[in-house]
Structures are given as C-alpha cells and as structure tokens.
Structure 1
Amino acid sequence: MESQRDFACIAGTRVVSQLRKEEEWIREPCILGVDEAGRGPVLGTMVYASAFCPLNTDISGRGYADSKTLTHEARGKLFRAIDADHGVGWVAHIMSAQHISHHMLGRDKISLNSLAFDATCCVIRTALENGANVKQIYVDTVGDADRHRERLSRAFPGIEFTVCPKADSLYPIVSAASIVAKVIRDQSLMDCQQSLKLQGEVGTGYPGDAATVVWLKDHIHPVLGFPPLVRHSWETCARLLEPPEAVSIKFEADEAADGDAANGPAQQRLNFARPGGAGLVESSGLGRHTFFRARKLQRVTEAF
C-alpha cells in the first residue's frame, strides 16, 4: 500500500487516514494509541499517527511492536495488514520540514513540543469527528508524562488517558500507531525527495548519519541555504551554513524598540484615529531604516 500512495508533504501539513466510518464497531467503545516518527531527523517530515479499534478486541497476538525494533520489510508488511484490517482504523498527521522550520524560526516562535501536541490532538480529533467512540487513549511521551496527560485531558474531557514513555512497547495499539507513523514517515521522505527532484542518498535523515551529512553538504546553496526537504531550524544546518560552505550575510535590523540617543526616538506606531475619534495620525517613521521611512511602511502586527 505504501508503494501505491504518495505521502509527500513539501509545505504545510496534511492528514491521511483509514477511518472505517462504514463499520459498525466504530460506534462501540474503542481504544486509541498515538505515537510519532521523525521527531529528531534534520531531513523530511515529522509524522504523528493514531490507531484505534474496539475496546474488546484482543490485538496482542498480531505482531505489533515498537517500529524501531522491526525491519523495514516487517514494518511494511504490518502496515499493509493494518491498512487492510476492517477492524482497525488509523489517522496520520504529516508535518513538512518547511512547516517545522517556519514555526520554530518565526517571529512568534513555536517549539517542537507545541507542534507535537497540536499534531497529537489532530490525530485524536480526526478519529472522534469521524465517529470513533473512543473511551481510552494511550500515548507515547518524550517529556513530562503527567503534564502531557493533564493537557490532553483538558483538551478531550471524558476520555481516559494513559501517557508514559515506551508506550509503543507496552501497548499493542500504540505499537500499531508507531508502525503507521514510521512507514509513512519513511515513504514521505522518499516521496518528498522525488517531488523536489533531489538526487543522492539521504540516509536516515538524522544528523548523526554520515550519509545524511554528506547529502546536506552536497545540497548547500551558498546564499539560499538548503532545499525545502531540510529543517533549517536544526543546529546542524546552522553550523553547515557558516563560511566557507555558505556566504555570511548581515541584514540591516530595525532600531531598538525604545530608540537611543544616537538614533533618536523610536518610530511611532500607526493609529487610525486619535483618542475620541478625532481624525487620523500618520506614523513619522523615526528610528526606522530609510527604506521603510521613505515608503511609510509599517509592520502589520503593529498597524492593527
């Protein structure tokens, strides 16, 4: 199945699923597991996945295990079995490298943990909104398990959460989610590379993989950096973008918000009306670079 479906995600995010909405069991009490793949790599997508099935179904004998303990062939075979099993549903949230970098490096920075929490909520919510009567949820965690459980319980009141490290080894439903996430992540990396027409062996995508580091060095543009397959927010990229591999660029920054004696007062913010509604006030632009002052340009977030 993974060879027939394109899981490329170059920008933004996408959700793929096998929801089993037509099955009767989906309205019975269900359990759901959540796990991720691709949190640490410098290349490609990060994938969060959920798998769910009836609460009274015993799936312990199906060979589901932590995806990291399985071979590539075994994971593929199990994924095809999960996807074809009318008694199991799954949801995957694919997050592009560009999406991760944009939020981690943006003006209003969002941490990887926050992105991961939103993805976890997405794969749970998608199952719920499509009819799954989920009563118990098991989640693999990297950080503080108690804090993670409390946040999820607030987001989904009435559902019992079990959050713990190594959940993908302890609970078969989390193992199933782990397999879905890992297979889609691996296929997504290849699909993204093909879509972007990028050549070369990317390796596992982890910073410690020699093949990945070689690929990164071979794909540095001295001014524009790396292609969209790469997470620019990783420290690995910052180190590689230093001279002589890349050109050092210095951008003219805005003056400090409060101004200083040498540069004069800070720029006044644009107001559309004086207090009491008496007319418009034009920004002076003092304290800003001449490019912005000459064009009377203002940051959107400060203008509204």
Structure 2
Amino acid sequence: MYVICGIDEAGKGSVLGPMVVAGVLASDMAEVAATGVADSKTLSRKRRESLYEVITGKFVTACTIISAQEIDRLRAEISMNEIVARAHADVIRQLPCDTAFVDACDVNAERYGRTVSAYVGGDCSIVSEHKADVRFPLVSAASVVAKVTRDRCIDGLHEEFGNFGSGYPSDPYTIRFLETYISEFTRPPSCARSSWETTRRIMDRLSQPSLFDF
C-alpha cells in the first residue's frame, strides 16, 4: 500500500517556548480532507483541539519537541532553517512513508526539499512547497497536531512562569514578560531563546547604565 505523510511545525519564530514538529501518516489525502481540517492558524483553539482528537484517533501521528535551550545550542552550529529541516526529517523517519509533504521553510522550496531528503535518507520522496499547510490536507492536519501540542507546552510554561502570552515577539504580553523577568533576574528565563535578536536587544537595553546609576 502506498503511504504518505504530512509534516509541519509550530513555534519556529517564537522567542519563548519550544518549536514542535508534527507528522500525520495516511494512505489517502481525501480521507484526511474529510475530517474538515484546515491550516491551524485559521482555526480557533477550541476547533483545533476538536480536530486534534479526530486526527490522532484516526491516523498515526508523531511529534518532536525542540526546547528553547536546544534551539540556542543548535543555532551555534547550524541555521534555523537547517534545524527545522532536521526536525522535519526526524518526524518523517518516525513515520515511514513513500512520499512526505512538507511546508518549505526556505525561500527556495526545492532546495529545502533536498535538505530534508538528505537528512531522511532512504527512498522517501519529498514534496516541498510553500503554503503546503493550505494546499495539502495532510499538512494541514500536521499543523493542527503541532499547534495543539505546542499550545499545551505553553500552558505548562504559563503555570511555571506566569502568563506570558503566545511567546511570539509580536505579542506585547510576551515582550513585557521578558523585560520584567530580565530586569529582575538580569538574565532571560530558561524558556526563552537567548540567541534570538528580541532577547539580545532587551538584554542590551536593560544592561545600559541610566542617569540614575551615576
């Protein structure tokens, strides 16, 4: 039987919290489409949670979670696109398939597909396209699994650190939390990506002496 999988990630651009890469395995794209799945960014959290239960109940899924600290460690060696490609490949290897559809994280989709393929090895064919989470229901399903898994990780971090919002640099709650935490402890929290420009800017700004220091 010919088997396909879809791969997508959530949290690539966040400054707080992990990145989650998820995959969904199926034999028929239409069967996945029948669940009513859509790109997770267009869905409410309640709808994502509902679809997550349907997807994980009907299909084989897999996830890999890369913490903020692990991302910092890897970024000292390779680019963020390479980190994502390696994680995409890791999930594909967990879901042996004939063809994997991936959401391209490089401006050059074909190049990204070659990078993922090199990490996967074997005979799996990689279909790498921009907006794959919109074009292919199987990638949409993976985006839902990735987003719900990350949402739950963020909930756990909120219990530990307090509510810091979504964790993305565009979120004022996230920036306010980072500024407050760094002001108090003179270092980023363990859930922050210290290598991120957002974190470095706040660290630099708060480490500058003010007139009141003289």
TM over 0.5: yes
Write the mapping of 1:58-207 to structure 2, written as runs, cut at 5 A: 58-85=31-58, 88-104=59-75, 106=76, 109-128=77-96, 134-143=97-106, 144-154=108-118, 155-194=120-159, 197-199=160-162, 201-207=163-169
Q: CA–CA distance in 1 between the matches of 2:39 and 2:92?
A: 20
Partner of 1:217: 179
CA apart distance, 1:156: 3.1
Q: CA–CA distance in 1 between the matches of 2:30 and 2:170?
A: 40
Q: Which has the larger radius of gyration?
A: 1
Could you list the runs of 5+ residues in structure 2 that have no partner in the other structure? 210-214
Q: CA–CA distance in 2 between the matches of 1:234 and 1:181?
A: 21
Pick from 195, 198, 205: which aligns with 1:236?
A: 198
Instruction: State the Cα deviation string for residues 185-228 of structure 1 (Å, max 9, x = none).
Output: 1111121343xx212x2111111111111111111156651111
Bigger shift: 163-172 or 184-193?
184-193
Q: CA–CA distance in 1 between the matches of 2:111 and 2:204?
A: 38
RMSD across aligned positions (CA): 1.9
Instruction: State the Cα deviation string for residues 96-124 of structure 1 (Å, max 9, x = none).
Output: 001111222x4xx3221121111011101
Q: 1:222 to 1:127 in 2, by over 3 A?
A: same
Partner of 2:207: 246
Q: CA–CA distance in 1 between the matches of 2:19 and 2:117?
A: 24
Could you list the runs of 5+ residues in structure 1 that have no partner in the other structure? 1-27, 129-133, 249-304
Runs of 4+ in 1 over 6 A off after TM superposition: none
CA apart distance, 1:161: 2.0
Q: 1:173 to 1:246 in 2, by over 3 A?
A: same
Percentage identity across paired residues of the two chains: 34
Q: CA–CA distance in 1 between the matches of 2:50 and 2:172?
A: 28
Partner of 1:24: none
- The two structures have a TM-score, normalised by structure 2, of 0.89
Paired residues, number: 207
SS at 1:41's partner residue? coil
SS at 2:204's partner residue? coil
User: What is the one-letter code of the residue matched to 1:166?
Assistant: K
- Does the CA contact (< 8 Å) of 2:104 and 2:113 recur in 1? no
CA apart distance, 1:136: 1.6
Instruction: State the Cα deviation string for residues 2-28 of structure 1 (Å, max 9, x = none).
Output: xxxxxxxxxxxxxxxxxxxxxxxxxx3
Q: CA–CA distance in 2 between the matches of 1:208 and 1:159?
A: 37
Partner of 2:212: none
More helix by share: 2
